[in-house]
Amino acid sequence: MRERRSDIPQLVAFYVLRFSKQFGKKVEGVSQESMDRLIRYLSPGNVRELQNVMERAVVLSAGGTLQLDKDLLPVTAELRTPDIVVRQTQPAVLTSSTLPTLEEMERSHIMAALQQAGGVVEGPKGAARLLNLHPNTLRHRMNKFGIERAAYRRS
């Protein structure tokens, strides 16, 4: 995507349409400010990264025009990522479909919420609040998908 920045608006439009249908959202477009941010920010990225950002943005969108929150952008090397460890509970199953399964989508959504919350599960800025779930429900689903928070480190 570094060499083809002009393709980013078309890919963004494609993913907005795809994910708005998939999640039953009525997102019709992306604000110019958000589009400019994507074009500038994703120059070192790849198509999969763009797809993940757009998926999260559509899931979290509240209106017809997508406003990309700066927290949804991929984390760069300069930014500290939360300490989240994923353990593999079952071998990955390859399917002939390119559409992810519901479990893969749920796991991905939980991971995105945990990352946005800095690894915090409960509280006013926790992932459970972002997902509108009871913290125990979120912990149960994290366990189900093999998502663990790493041990706390002293600052």
3-class secondary structure for 114-155? HHHCCCCCCCCCCHHHHHCCCHHHHHHHHHHCCEEECCCCCC
Average pLDDT, the chain: 75
Instruction: Pick 136 or 98 by higher pLDDT.
Output: 136
What pTM, to 2 d.p., does this model score?
0.46
- Choose from 52-66, 71-85, 98-112 the range with maximum mean pLDDT: 52-66
Per CATH, the number for 5-72 is 1.10.8.60
Q: What pLDDT digit, counting tens, does each position of 144-153 carry?
A: 888 887 644 3
- Highest CATH level, class, for 84-149: mainly alpha
Enumerate the domain spans of the chain: 5-72, 84-149
Q: What pLDDT digit, counting tens, does each position of 20-35 carry?
A: 888 888 888 888 888 8
Give the pLDDT score at 103: 82
